[in-house]
């Protein structure tokens, strides 16, 4: 409580762990313990391009009585099959599974990123793939490297 006000619970929806190479350093059990200590009802895991920590998240959240939210911050490219030289525009999109079908779609997208769209060291998907597997997913635009934010930063509000 701050100065007589009730504090409302929140859940962080854009969280990277040690599985986000060169971007996250948090251990998943420590994340869940900290979320529980703050009274957070849930904790999302949205590592870059991978879902490697999902089982660990589920176990840690059960241990600390916090609801796990399964997610992934996918790398979005114009065409996942493109292999031409030159500059590659790659944006981030945070996806959260809202339903069991959404979880399965997230797994399909993460796998497709590696199997079909691995470009310049990153598992990449395109908007067509995301649209084909959008059922049960929630997309967030908040990351600074999202297409939305990059258009805003470049002064292209109409495209954002």
Quickly count: other Cβ atoms within 10 Å of residue 128's Cβ.
10
CA distance 51 to 9: 26
Per-residue pLDDT reduced to its tens digit, 20-73: 877 788 999 999 999 999 999 999 999 999 999 999 999 999 999 999 999 999
Contact in structure between 57 and 68 (CB atoms under 8 Å) = yes
For all residues of the chain together, what is the average pLDDT? 89
Helix (H) or strand (E) holding 70: strand 67-77
Per-residue pLDDT reduced to its tens digit, 95-114: 999 999 999 999 999 999 99
pTM for this structure? Answer: 0.88
pLDDT of residue 1: 45
- The residue among 48 and 149 whose pLDDT is bigger is 48
């Amino acid at each position: 409580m701050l100065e007589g006000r009730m504090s409302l619970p929140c859940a962080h929806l854009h969280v990277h762990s040690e599985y986000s190479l060169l971007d996250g350093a948090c251990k998943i059990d420590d994340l869940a313990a900290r979320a529980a200590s703050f009274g957070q009802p849930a904790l999302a895991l949205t590592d870059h391009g991978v879902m490697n920590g999902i089982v660990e998240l589920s176990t840690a959240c059960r241990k600390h009585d916090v609801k796990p939210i399964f997610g992934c911050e996918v790398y979005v490219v114009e065409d996942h099959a493109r292999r031409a030289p030159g500059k590659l525009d790659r944006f981030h999109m945070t996806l959260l599974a809202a339903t069991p079908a959404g979880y399965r779609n997230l797994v399909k997208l993460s796998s497709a990123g590696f199997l079909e769209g691995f470009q310049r060291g990153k598992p990449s998907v395109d908007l067509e793939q995301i649209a084909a597997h959008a059922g049960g997913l929630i997309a967030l635009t908040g990351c600074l490297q999202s297409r939305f934010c990059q258009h805003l930063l470049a002064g292209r509000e109409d495209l954002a």
